[in-house]
Each structure stands twice: as C-alpha cells, then as structure tokens.
Amino acid sequence: MTEAKKKNEWLEWGKAILIAILIAIFLRSFIFATSIVEGESMDPTLEDGERVIFNKAIYIIGKPDRGDIVIIQRPLKNYVKRVIGLPGETIEISGYDLYINGKKYDQTFLSEQAEMETGNFGPIQIPDDSYFVMGDNRAISKDSRNGLGLINEDEIIGRSEFIIFPFSDWSRTK
C-alpha cells in the first residue's frame, strides 16, 4: 500500500469518526437524553436507581398527554412523574377515587394499594399553561398535591420511553 493511500484511508476514518461524534452530540442535545430515577415515588413502574431514556423532541411537536411519564426540570433537581391533569381541567381525589372534570377516572397504571394511599385532594382547577402530576407510589410521592405544585409546560423537558439500566429491567416505560 502506498503512503498516499494510507494517508487517504486515515483521513476517511477521521471523517467517519467526526461525523459519528457530531450525530451523537446532536441526538443527545435535541432528541434523546437519559435520567436517573431518584427515590421510590414511581414504584412499581420505575424503581430507585433505574436509568431511563427520555424523548426530548416529542413535546416540540405535541403536548403532554394524560398518563405520560415525564421528566420535569427544576433548578436543583429533575423529577420523574406521571401526567394526571391537563390544562383547563378540574382534579379532585375523594375516597381513593380520582375525578377529572367530575368524572371518575380509572387509574389502570396503579396498584390497588397505591390507589388506597392516595388520600383526598381538591378540587383544583388547572391553569391553561400547567399540568397536574403525581407519582405512582402515592403514599410517599412529592408531586402536584404536596410540594411540586402545578407544573408549567416549559418545565416538562421530555417523555420517558425506555428503562435502560439495570440491563435486566430493560423495557418500555408505560
């Protein structure tokens, strides 16, 4: 192999590596990122220490929907919670039941125990630019009921898509 051919091959490899790095930076910055679940507020759906991939681009073209597991960015910490109430809705929790605009809502993602630990709350009217979120482990969750308050739309930075760590728990979040 001639010296010119070797130099050309190295140049091509360098270009390929540079392009791969730029694509990875773009994807990490604008499309997907990871977050670590801290605490037990989303048990059993997500457990303390699990790492999730979240979709950062989804809410550029759409809005959060009821049931989405979202990443909420606050100055000191990110939170992982489930969207329960949408802008303009009225939320009330009474006798272990969740009511949205006066109609009982079936929380299929909750265990029976979690439903019984929800407690009473509201009614509260959600402003047009906000969301009401709760953790799936209602007894210990810091959420819209007790500490996080209503979540502004611009604080929601993505939707959880996959659990990627530990590898034995790899699955789609629901």
The catalytic position among 35, 41, 130, 144 is 41
The catalytic position among 81, 130, 144, 160 is 81
Counting beta carbons within 10 angstroms of the beta carbon of residue 117, is it exposed (0 to 12), middle (13 to 18) or buried (19 or more)?
Answer: middle
One-letter identity of residue 15: K
The verdict on whether 81 is a catalytic residue reads yes
The verdict on whether 144 is a catalytic residue reads no
Quick one: tokens of 28?
Answer: 């990490």
- Cα 34 to the center of its chain, rounded Å: 10
What is the SS3 assignment for 75?
Answer: coil
134 close to 126: Cβ distance less than 8 angstroms: no
> Which residue numbers are catalytic?
41, 81
